[in-house]
């Protein structure tokens, strides 16, 4: 046997550097808080951001944008720009009309959906402030910016359409005149028993609470703005596109479909990407324009977005009006839920714009058992920047509405809001559970997460303090907010996507390549932009193959080296991409085992694998490491008959079900009734995201998510004036929280493994964002409820809170209203008072 091994170990004789060969696997990779592999370059400034890329002869592109929300383009004259020294080219939309194609929308949610043409540069009409009308290409950045001023555009102003409800009213001005309507689609979804009948059947025993919630428009604000560089080889009609994107693989397909350039002639590279939060999950005008202009000129082109452009031309998030109605019997048992949703599409449909509210449709019932569910969504066009996926995409909106109205229902019933949740949630022994919205939740333990959170938070202690301080008429108002959320992660089973008319699948691809020296290369189609994929993937592979963590290299973000993929969004990376990798390691092991059996002269059934070593049952000295097998497959001197040399594998994994992480977030706020200023005093969360690969990365994801959810509750709002101008168009006016604006978060975990995948993982990317907005807003409403305050719009700015605490004439309201669960508060069936 030793002879056979030696025969395979030629490389060991050629190269003798001790570091070239592998050390034994130390074990315990999964669940270990590994330092991130990504960090070395990031903390030393050796990062490859798109804007860092420079190429010989590189030209800079800038985009002239519409200053009006809605106007007919009478003329665009670029001739003066072309006269400027250093300007290479300038094009209007009309100049590019026959090559620029139309930007894609991959999610036609209904067959009748109105899908307006979306040219990268507007040709006839501009429909939002920031809509592109012309491009300039110049020798350097500054000249390209200067030249924009030399372009003369004549507009004929058309009416702006800003308000969603006005937009769908009779006789409204139209965003797309030729479509005859501002309604993009209507999407009805009734599930379970009939809602109206269910409520009627309960008769006098039914309690119904209605509220209107507003999901304000948000600006995603990845700190790296977008950017694109296109390097053409004109003679071969071949293009390398570098883009600060979350989706290099999808982008490649779409660029081919939009421009007609062969998909096989386009290579897309997502270099280091500085955050996305959904805003880089799209196919943007500038990506198409840089490509068609590079093709026209045969020169490399760079476009880098400024922050002000980013706020106009990168998708916005949220912007929904939610009319929600919940019904329960007097004893608190939920009967059903009815949701009427208005969702602002903006002026055009970007990649998955119409699908965002539909993703939320399935999550309104959240973790609660009920029999009837009625959902209806209307998508509406307005003359504003298109909306699309932003941090949670539909699911945070749904969670907000249900968690807020559970508190309102509790107040109406005179119940403790946590008790009401406990009465209605799925108990851990009831999983798997078929939800009223049609999903099957595979696992969960809401009791365990909540119990732990209550302890960490000292919920009972804080409630006692609140009661005492209310009795003392303390002008600082203590409020306690609860959010027991779940989310739908791991997008997505391809069949489900198909049934929802989404234009692609939800699988993910992985490849493992065992190198001759025993090192391992892993490619993944899940492309990171800050999450730490390279570290987590290395841990999964190290654990499965029994190789050292350091010996694994992960390759992502380049359609040449990781050609297949569906990219990163929807908390899918670990749950779909990670499982693809895990399955690919299984294929490697399967092949390696056959080879090991062959070389160890044992029956395959007698060969065992553990910690990176194959051994033969009953003969302890007959062993072989996986690295030795890799080398043997490379030398290929002695393989089983018919076996292919080398030790690689490919796996494309299509999930069978979603995963359902959940958790309990508790927030205590102190509100100064004199100023309306809210301070978060304590924030505790216990998340159950199933099995953990790297707890430190998980905690970081939770922190960042909570921060963005708090930002929605307290700080951020994209505001448009009546003419459709974005009045929060820069970081001066749009309040992204800085370090002093956010509290310390106490995080905890429970682990209820998912039963939908072999690693038991569930995904964590959006948990914090989804849970924290309602936790904070419930805390604020809890503090204000004795004053009869029923709904404060987000963000709950000091001004809004201050006003809510006063009558219209400015005199303070008193706290004579009943306390949170001392009895029914106000008339439950009318809308809010924001």
Partner 1 sequence: MRVRMKVDGVVYEDEVEPRTLLTHHLRDGLGRVGTPIGCDTSNCGSCTLLVDGESVKSCSVLAVQADGTEITTIQGLAEGSTWHPVQKAFQEHHGLQCGYCTPGMILAAVDLLSHNPDPTEDEVRHGLEGNLCRCTGYQNIVKSVLSAASEMRGDGPLPGSFQDAPAESHETAGASS
Dihedral, 456, 457, 460, 464 alpha carbons, nearest 10: 140
Retrieve residue 536's tokens. 């987590």
Q: Does 728 contact partner 1 by CB under 8 A?
A: no
Decide whether 142 or 656 has the Cβ nearer to ligand FES: 142
Retrieve residue 662's tokens. 């959940």
CB of 317 to partner 1, least distance (A): 13
Decide whether 649 or 701 has the Cβ nearer to ligand FES: 701
Q: Tokens 């809308």 identify what position?
A: 831
Determine phi and psi for 198, rounding to 5 degrees.
Answer: -65, -45
Total binding residues toward partner 1, as defined by CB under 8 A: 85
Task: State the binding partner of 40 from ligand FES, partner 1, none, CB within 5 to 8 A by kind.
Answer: partner 1
Decide whether 700 or 788 has the Cβ nearer to partner 1: 700
Question: Are the C-beta atoms of 787 and 814 separated by less than 8 Å?
Answer: yes
Q: Tokens 């290395």 identify what position?
A: 538
Task: State the binding partner of 159 from partner 1, ligand FES, none, CB within 5 to 8 A by kind.
Answer: none
Stretch that binds partner 1, among 37-45, 106-114, 130-138, 797-805 (CB under 8 A): 37-45
Q: Tokens 């905690």 identify what position?
A: 699
Decide whether 14 or 738 has the Cβ nearer to ligand FES: 738
Task: State the binding partner of 594 from partner 1, ligand FES, none, CB within 5 to 8 A by kind.
Answer: none
Question: Are the C-beta atoms of 539 and 32 separated by less than 8 Å?
Answer: yes
In the window 457-486, what residues touch partner 1 (CB under 8 A)?
none
CB of 479 to partner 1, least distance (A): 21
175 sits in the region (left: phi over 0; alpha: psi -120 to 50; else beta) called: alpha
Q: Does 46 contact partner 1 by CB under 8 A?
A: yes
Decide whether 277 or 653 has the Cβ nearer to partner 1: 277
Task: State the binding partner of 739 from partner 1, ligand FES, none, CB within 5 to 8 A by kind.
Answer: partner 1
Cα(332)–Cα(407) distance, integer angstroms: 12
Retrieve residue 824's tokens. 């029914």
Determine phi and psi for 642, rounding to 5 degrees.
Answer: 80, 0
Decide whether 30 or 256 has the Cβ nearer to partner 1: 30
Angle at 271 between CA 566 and CA 257, to 5 degrees: 45
In the window 274-293, what residues touch ligand FES (CB under 6 A)?
275
Cα(547)–Cα(552) distance, integer angstroms: 8
Q: What is the DSSP string of 64-114?
A: EE-SSSSEEEEEEE-HHHHHSTTEEEEEEHHHHTTTS---------STT--
Cα(65)–Cα(584) distance, integer angstroms: 47
Which of 108, 275, 438, 586 binds partner 1 (CB under 8 A)? It is: 275
Decide whether 111 or 223 has the Cβ nearer to ligand FES: 223
What mask, x for binding partner 1 by CB under 8 A, covers residues 53 to 72?
-x------------------
Q: Does 765 contact ligand FES by CB under 6 A?
A: no
Q: Does 739 contact ligand FES by CB under 6 A?
A: no
Helix (H) or strand (E) holding 400: helix 395-413
List, in sequence order, the alpha helices (H) in 260-341: 285-297, 307-313
Task: State the binding partner of 738 from partner 1, ligand FES, none, CB within 5 to 8 A by kind.
Answer: partner 1
Residues 6+ apart with CB under 8 A from 422: 447, 450
Q: Is 333 exposed, middle or buried (0-12, 13-18, 19+ CB in 10 A)?
A: middle
Stretch that binds partner 1, among 16-24, 67-75, 216-224, 646-654 (CB under 8 A): 216-224
Angle at 390 between CA 115 and CA 575, to 5 degrees: 105
CB of 396 to partner 1, least distance (A): 16
DSSP 8-state class, residue 205:
G
Question: Are the C-beta atoms of 22 and 551 separated by less than 8 Å?
Answer: yes
By beta carbon distance, the residue nearest ligand FES is 223
Retrieve residue 283's tokens. 């196919």
In the window 652-711, what residues touch partner 1 (CB under 8 A)?
688, 691-692, 695-697, 699-701, 703-708
Q: Does 45 contact partner 1 by CB under 8 A?
A: yes
Q: Does 235 contact ligand FES by CB under 6 A?
A: no
Q: Is 634 helix (H, G, I), strand (E, B) or coil?
A: helix
Decide whether 119 or 530 has the Cβ nearer to ligand FES: 530
Q: Does 738 contact ligand FES by CB under 6 A?
A: no
Which of 11, 20, 32, 635 binds partner 1 (CB under 8 A)? It is: 32
CB of 44 to partner 1, least distance (A): 6
Task: State the binding partner of 385 from partner 1, ligand FES, none, CB within 5 to 8 A by kind.
Answer: none
In the window 193-232, what residues touch ligand FES (CB under 6 A)?
223
What mask, x for binding ligand FES by CB under 6 A, covers residues 372 to 401?
------------------------------
Q: Is 211 helix (H, G, I), strand (E, B) or coil?
A: strand
Helix axes 695-714, 767-784, angle to 10 degrees: 40
Give the C-alpha distances (Å, rounded to integers) separating 417 from 20, 249, 414, 679.
61, 45, 9, 22
Decide whether 626 or 702 has the Cβ nearer to ligand FES: 702
In the window 134-173, what residues touch ligand FES (CB under 6 A)?
none
Q: Does 740 contact partner 1 by CB under 8 A?
A: yes
Which of 303, 651, 745, 802 binds partner 1 (CB under 8 A)? It is: 745
Residues 6+ apart with CB under 8 A from 135: 61, 62, 63, 64, 90, 91, 96, 121, 289, 293
Q: Does 201 contact partner 1 by CB under 8 A?
A: no
The 10 Å Cβ neighbour count of residue 446 is 24
Cα(796)–Cα(777) distance, integer angstroms: 8
What mask, x for binding partner 1 by CB under 8 A, covers residues 221 to 240?
xxxxx---------------
Total binding residues toward ligand FES, as defined by CB under 6 A: 3
In the window 518-537, what residues touch partner 1 (CB under 8 A)?
529-532
Q: Does 530 contact ligand FES by CB under 6 A?
A: yes
Dihedral, 591, 754, 774, 727 alpha carbons, nearest 10: 20
In the window 250-279, what residues touch ligand FES (CB under 6 A)?
275
Decide whether 32 or 296 has the Cβ nearer to partner 1: 32
Decide whether 610 or 730 has the Cβ nearer to ligand FES: 730
Which residues bind to ligand FES, rule: CB under 6 A? 223, 275, 530
């Amino acid at each position: 046997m030793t002879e056979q091994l030696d025969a395979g170990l030629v490389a060991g004789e050629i190269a003798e550097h001790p570091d070239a060969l592998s050390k034994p696997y130390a074990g315990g990779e999964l669940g270990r808080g590994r330092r991130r592999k990504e960090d070395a370059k990031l903390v030393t400034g050796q990062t490859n951001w798109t804007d860092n890329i420079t190429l010989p002869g590189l030209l800079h592109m800038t985009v002239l944008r519409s200053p009006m929300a809605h106007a007919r383009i009478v003329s665009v004259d670029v001739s003066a720009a072309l006269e400027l020294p250093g300007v290479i080219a300038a094009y209007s939309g009309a100049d590019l009309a026959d090559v620029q194609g139309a930007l894609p929308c991959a999610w036609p949610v209904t067959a009748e959906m109105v899908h307006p043409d979306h040219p990268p540069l507007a040709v006839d009409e501009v429909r939002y402030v920031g809509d592109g009308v012309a491009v300039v290409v110049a020798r350097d950045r500054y000249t390209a910016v200067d030249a924009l001023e030399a372009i003369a555009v004549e507009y004929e102003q058309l009416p702006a359409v800003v308000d969603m409800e006005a937009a769908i009213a009779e006789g409204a001005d139209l965003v797309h005149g030729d479509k005859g309507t501002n309604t993009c689609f209507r999407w009805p979804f009734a599930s379970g028993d009939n809602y109206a009948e269910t409520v009627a059947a309960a008769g006098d025993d039914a309690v119904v609470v209605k509220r209107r919630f507003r999901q304000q428009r948000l600006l995603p604000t990845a700190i790296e703005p977008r950017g694109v560089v296109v390097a053409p080889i004109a003679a071969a009609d071949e293009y390398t596109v570098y883009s600060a994107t979350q989706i290099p693989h999808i982008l490649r397909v779409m660029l081919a479909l939009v421009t007609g350039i062969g998909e096989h002639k386009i290579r897309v590279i997502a270099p280091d990407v500085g955050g996305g939060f959904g805003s880089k999950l799209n196919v943007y005008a500038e990506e198409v324009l840089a490509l068609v202009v590079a093709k026209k000129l045969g020169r490399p082109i760079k476009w880098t977005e400024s922050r002000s452009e980013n706020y106009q031309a990168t998708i916005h998030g949220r912007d929904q009006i939610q009319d929600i109605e919940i019904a329960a019997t007097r004893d608190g048992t939920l009967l059903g839920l009815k949701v009427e949703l208005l969702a602002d599409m903006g002026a055009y449909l970007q990649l998955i714009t119409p699908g965002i509210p539909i993703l939320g449709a399935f999550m309104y019932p959240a973790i609660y058992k009920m029999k009837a569910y009625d959902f209806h969504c209307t998508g509406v066009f307005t003359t504003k920047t298109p909306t699309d996926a932003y941090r949670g995409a539909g699911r945070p909106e749904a969670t907000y509405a249900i968690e807020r109205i559970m508190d309102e229902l509790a107040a109406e019933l005179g119940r403790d809001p946590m008790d009401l949740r406990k009465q209605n949630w799925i108990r851990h022994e009831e999983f798997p559970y078929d939800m009223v919205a049609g999903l099957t939740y595979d696992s969960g333990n809401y009791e365990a997460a909540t119990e732990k959170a209550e302890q960490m938070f000292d919920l009972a202690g804080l409630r006692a303090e609140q009661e005492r301080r209310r009795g003392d008429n303390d002008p600082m108002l203590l409020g306690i907010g609860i959010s027991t959320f779940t989310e739908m992660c791991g997008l997505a089973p391809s069949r489900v996507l198909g049934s929802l008319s989404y234009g692609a699948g939800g699988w993910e691809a992985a490849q493992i390549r065992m190198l001759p020296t025993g090192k391992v290369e892993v490619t993944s189609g899940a492309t990171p932009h800050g999450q730490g994929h390279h570290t987590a993937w290395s841990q999964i592979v190290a654990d499965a193959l029994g190789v050292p963590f350091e010996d694994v290299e992960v390759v992502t973000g380049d359609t040449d080296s990781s050609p297949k993929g569906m990219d990163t969004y929807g908390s899918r990376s670990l749950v779909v991409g990670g499982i693809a990798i895990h399955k690919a390691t299984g294929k490697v092991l399967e092949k390696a085992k056959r080879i090991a059996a062959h070389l160890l002269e044992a029956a395959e059934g007698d060969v065992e694998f553990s910690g990176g070593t194959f051994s033969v049952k009953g003969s302890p000295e007959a062993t072989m490491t996986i690295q030795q097998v890799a080398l043997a497959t490379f030398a290929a001197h002695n393989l089983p008959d018919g076996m292919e040399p080398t030790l690689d594998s490919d796996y494309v994994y299509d999930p069978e079900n979603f995963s359902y992480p959940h958790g309990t977030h508790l927030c205590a706020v102190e509100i100064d009734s004199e100023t309306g200023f809210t301070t978060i005093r304590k924030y505790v969360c216990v998340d159950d995201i199933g099995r953990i690969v790297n707890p430190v990365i998980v905690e970081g994801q939770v922190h960042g998510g909570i921060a963005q959810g708090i930002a929605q509750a307290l700080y951020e709002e994209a505001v448009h004036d009546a003419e459709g101008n974005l009045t929060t168009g820069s970081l001066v006016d749009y309040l992204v929280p800085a370090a002093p604006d956010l509290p310390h978060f106490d995080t905890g975990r429970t682990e209820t493994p998912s039963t939908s995948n072999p690693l038991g993982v569930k995904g964590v990317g959006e948990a914090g964002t989804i849970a924290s907005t309602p936790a904070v807003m419930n805390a604020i409403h809890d503090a204000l409820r004795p004053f009869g305050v029923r709904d404060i719009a987000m963000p709950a700015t000091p001004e809004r809170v201050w006003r809510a605490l006063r009558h219209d004439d400015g005199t303070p309201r008193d706290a004579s209203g009943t306390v949170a669960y001392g009895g029914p508060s106000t008339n439950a069936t009318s809308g809010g008072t924001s």
